[in-house]
Structure 1
Amino acid sequence: MKRHGVLLVFVLLLTLVLGACAQPATPAATPTASPIVMTDGLGRTVTLAAPAQRVISLAPSNTEILYAVGAGSQVVGRDNFSNYPPEALELPGLGDFMGFSIEQIVALNPDLVLLAEIHPPELVKSLEDAGLTVFYLKNPLTMEEMYPMLITVGELTGHKAEAETLVTQLSVRVAAVQQKLANIEERPTVFYEIDGTDPSKPWTTGNGTFIDTLLEMAKAENVGRAMGSQYGQMSIEALLEADPDFILLGDANFGVTPEQVAARPGWGELTAVKEGRVLPFNDDLASRPGPRLVDGLEELARILHAVPVP
């Protein structure tokens, strides 16, 4: 009997131990992602609970940045002028600077709408009144200002590491151009045409624009600086006096050709026309503050100084 009692106690103890071992372990607490809190170009504090997965871009520069940092698959809508990269054209167009369809934007259920300096603050309010989260990117004027903007978009979309890699690649390319131009002392003069619809007073770019910044970086002098404003019309008389070495046609995107320029009244007297240095230039590479500005810098180095840049 004593032997049976001891055995019974042993079985009971073993059952308790095994039962305790069989209890499911208490799950460890799952860490929650910290919200993304950033200040935009209007000084507004913008908060996202998590990286945006459905983004609408209402500026071509923003669209290019989103694809460049690896967030292209998260873009669900665009402005009508966003045409790069080509796959962006497959997205629904939602309007342009003449006006956007707030109803269409809301219907796409975005968790972030990305604006740029081309948009008035009133558009921010309209979108926020519709219950949307809006981030406003201010235009940079230098490469050093542009790089952090790329990282900002990377953070907003969960691609910070890719954005940082992109910035490194771009800065290496810029440094390569600067090194190749380092010993150039003679700076060619350039007239950059934005709109030559009125040949007697073509529109150009002055100081305080990225086009002017790129020309400066490319060791050239922008004759448009004489206007004393960011953008304006330069008279044919002032242009003849400046007599630029090169005329770059930013309006070539709209069909303007060197032959048409040569046929304009009075333009045949310009040195750039006489010597065949009126050249088309892809304005998207100079006017959209994004990664392709580096492409624009490389192209200017090739055109103005015959520098081979890969």
Structure 2
Amino acid sequence: MIRPTALLALSLSLLATAASARVCVDDDADRRVCLEQPAERIVALSPGATELLFDAGAGERLVGAVSYSDFPPAAKKLPRVGSYKRLDLEAILALKPDLVVAWISGNPGTQVDRLEDLGLTVYRGEPLRFTDVADTLERLAVLAGTEQAGNAAAARFRDGIGALRRRFADAAPVTVFYEVWEEPLMTVNGEHLISEAIRTCGGINVFADLHGLAPRVGTEAVIAANPEAIVAGGMGEDNPAWLEPWKRFPALTAVQRDNLFFVPPSTLQRPTPQMLEGTRQLCDHLERARARR
């Protein structure tokens, strides 16, 4: 026969164990996200979220991702649940995830809300600063129970960005037009994470004052701004074709000095630790622009 005091002690022990297994973080929508235990089945609703989860040490817990989730290579093997713009809710539910990682500005809000209505736990992410990338790695690692890997990845990212900031803190400014898309012609404003990369390298975004994170601009506006350097991503990791049309405008300073630079889009256009490599490449390009004065 179990004594009442022993039963009480056992009950308290079980409650303490359950409480210690519960994990909670605050997401970028300022909501508390809690799980009764670290997630074992995770679905990522953007290529960036997929990459962040792998970097946070949670790759083996991913069971689904959206199209274009191609890094690291293991991500290509994950079952697809639609695109980030059009989610396949049935496919997501069929995977029975205990955590869904959504993209605030990219995913359809009504579909993400529907997933919550159906009982799924959703973490909403929107890294807008380098510090947000590192913080997101740590938060996702908490939710996946992979803190050691996530904390290490966050520390490497912070240290790398810090080193670049120190190196280029006193660099001569270089005016920059960053082309994020060709048709329609689009750039980034000063609030965009790519603008932080430009500033880190001692660059000045000529369209920093525009409204919207990725505003449309006209060719005439670029010509009027006359940037010293034009930097573009492109339709592929080794396809600098978007730079070619600018050669039709020889009066542009960037064209005159051959300051037309390509950076693989996955290294600057996804809010992940790959931005460290993309920012390094960007800084090297702007150093070339300084040397060509």
Q: TM-score, normalised by structure 2?
A: 0.85
Change beyond 3 A, Cα 1:235–1:50 = same
Cα drift, residue 206 of structure 1: 1.3
Q: Percent identity?
A: 27
The AA in structure 2 aligned to 1:220 is G
Q: Answer yes or no: is 1:260 the counterpart of 2:244.
A: yes
- Contact preservation (8 Å) 2:85, 2:107: no
Secondary structure of 2:141 counterpart = helix
- Contact preservation (8 Å) 1:257, 1:280: no
Matched residues in 1 for 2:67 and 2:190: separation? 28
- State how many pairs are aligned: 274
2:111 aligns with 123
Task: Please point out which of 226, 238, 243 is paired with 2:221.
Answer: 238
Change beyond 3 A, Cα 1:227–1:37 = closer
Secondary structure of 1:224 counterpart = coil
The AA in structure 2 aligned to 1:122 is T
1:146 aligns with 133
Cα drift, residue 165 of structure 1: 1.5
Matched residues in 1 for 2:235 and 2:253: separation? 20
Equivalent residue runs for 1:90-239 within 5 Å? 90-117=77-104, 118-137=106-125, 139-184=126-171, 186-198=172-184, 202-239=185-222
1:302 aligns with 284
1:278 aligns with 260
2:67 aligns with 80
Deviates more, 1:298-307 or 1:234-243: 298-307
Cα drift, residue 216 of structure 1: 0.9
Secondary structure of 1:204 counterpart = coil
Structure 2: where are the runs of 5+ without partners? Answer: 1-9
The AA in structure 1 aligned to 2:87 is F
The AA in structure 1 aligned to 2:137 is L
Secondary structure of 2:183 counterpart = coil
Cα drift, residue 263 of structure 1: 5.3
Matched residues in 1 for 2:108 and 2:183: separation? 26
Matched residues in 2 for 1:65 and 1:97: separation? 15
> What are the Cα deviations for residues 96-146 of structure 1, in whole angstroms up to 9, with x where unaligned?
133111111111111111111222432222112333221111x23222232
Secondary structure of 1:191 counterpart = strand
Cα drift, residue 252 of structure 1: 4.7
> What are the Cα deviations for residues 78-113 of structure 1, in whole angstroms up to 9, with x where unaligned?
010211111100111111133111111111111111
CA RMSD of aligned residues (A): 2.3
- Contact preservation (8 Å) 1:51, 1:155: yes
Matched residues in 1 for 2:280 and 2:243: separation? 25
Task: Please point out which of 51, 58, 82 is paired with 1:71.
Answer: 58
Matched residues in 1 for 2:177 and 2:88: separation? 37
Cα drift, residue 274 of structure 1: 2.7
Secondary structure of 2:21 counterpart = coil
Cα drift, residue 253 of structure 1: 2.6
Secondary structure of 2:236 counterpart = helix
Change beyond 3 A, Cα 1:178–1:207 = closer
Matched residues in 2 for 1:123 and 1:134: separation? 11
Q: TM-score, normalised by structure 1?
A: 0.81
